[in-house]
Amino acid sequence: MRRPYLIAGNWKMNHGPAETEAFFAAFEAPRHPEVEVLLCVPYVSLPAALVRGGYARIGAQNLHFENDGAFTGEISGSMLTKMGVDSVIIGHSERRQYFGETDAHVLKKTRKALESGMTPIVCVGEVLAERRAGTHVDVVKRQIDAVFTQLDAAQASATVIAYEPVWAIGTGETATPEQAQEMHAAIRSWLASDTRILYGGSMNAANAEALLSQPDVDGGLIGGASLKPDLFMSIVQTAIQLR
Ligand code: PGA
């Protein structure tokens, strides 16, 4: 069976509850059994998204790796699943860069997300200096191995990977479809499981078709272009047309 596409939006720190209501009032993507749609919204917008999201899956952008306790300001996986949240982004490059998240945190959070019953979306990707130095494949392999050597086959299949070259995030500069496919094929060769691999980094309505048509690209993790309902819908449409 073909791996279904996953078209995932990452709103980052954008769209509070009122903007979330407005987004979903205007968002009506056509459905297809092989195209899943997910929106990862700020914690405070989860209630509005869960009520208004229609058939879209709703995810968070982070979780803590314990269930409860003295962790001021944190939110646990079990809190999220009890609300109805079914996915969570883990180890986004902004979390690694600004909040000190390491491969060890990413592993703990991935385990907790799986234990809580959520789909973890584990982000990996090299920075520009690593790409220029030609070490990008090694960097991504280290990030993947840190998590996937510790998961069993069922856990690995239930996890999603997002390959996001850091130099392409929010910069308008996208990896070429060939660069994306090359890394996705490498990641696939390291995995024993049928894990889906999304591409992220300036994916938009104009470049989505070329990226999504690569054989090892199973969807997208989309930042800027997921904030506007029409732009995001057009990426969902592109995925549907490719099926
Ligand atoms: P971008 O963000 O689409 O705005 O580049 C992608 C991401 O950071 O997940």
Q: pLDDT digits over 31-69, tens only?
A: 999 999 999 999 999 999 999 999 999 999 999 999 999
The tens digit of pLDDT for each residue in 129-162 reads: 999 999 999 999 999 999 999 999 999 999 999 9
Where is average pLDDT lowest: 58-62, 168-172, 219-223?
Answer: 168-172
C-beta of residue 90 within 8 angstroms of C-beta of residue 106: yes
Asked if pLDDT for residue 30 goes beyond 90, the answer is no
Q: Exactly one of 15, 92, 136, 184 is catalytic; which is it?
A: 92
The rounded Å distance from CA 128 to ligand 1 centre is 15
Instruction: Please indicate whether residue 169, judged by its CB atom, sits closer than 6 Å to ligand 1.
Output: yes
Confidence band for 173, pLDDT divided at 50, 70 and 90: confident
Catalytic, 92? Answer yes
Asked if pLDDT for residue 1 goes beyond 80, the answer is no
Q: What is the pTM of this model?
A: 0.97
Q: Whose CA is nearest to atom 2 of ligand 1?
A: 223
**At the top level of CATH, which class does the domain 5-242 belong to?**
alpha beta
Asked if pLDDT for residue 170 goes beyond 80, the answer is yes
- Provide the pLDDT for residue 172: 86
C-beta of residue 235 within 8 angstroms of C-beta of residue 228: no
Which pair of tokens denotes residue 171? 């910069």
Q: What is the dihedral of CA 11, 228, 25, 31, to 10 degrees?
A: -90
85 vs 1, more confident: 85
Domain residue extents for the chain: 5-242
- The mean pLDDT value for 5-11 works out to 98
Q: Which atom of ligand 1 is nearest to the CA of 169?
A: 5
Q: Where are the alpha helices (H) located in 84-228, listed in sequence order?
A: 93-98, 103-116, 128-133, 136-148, 153-158, 177-190, 208-212
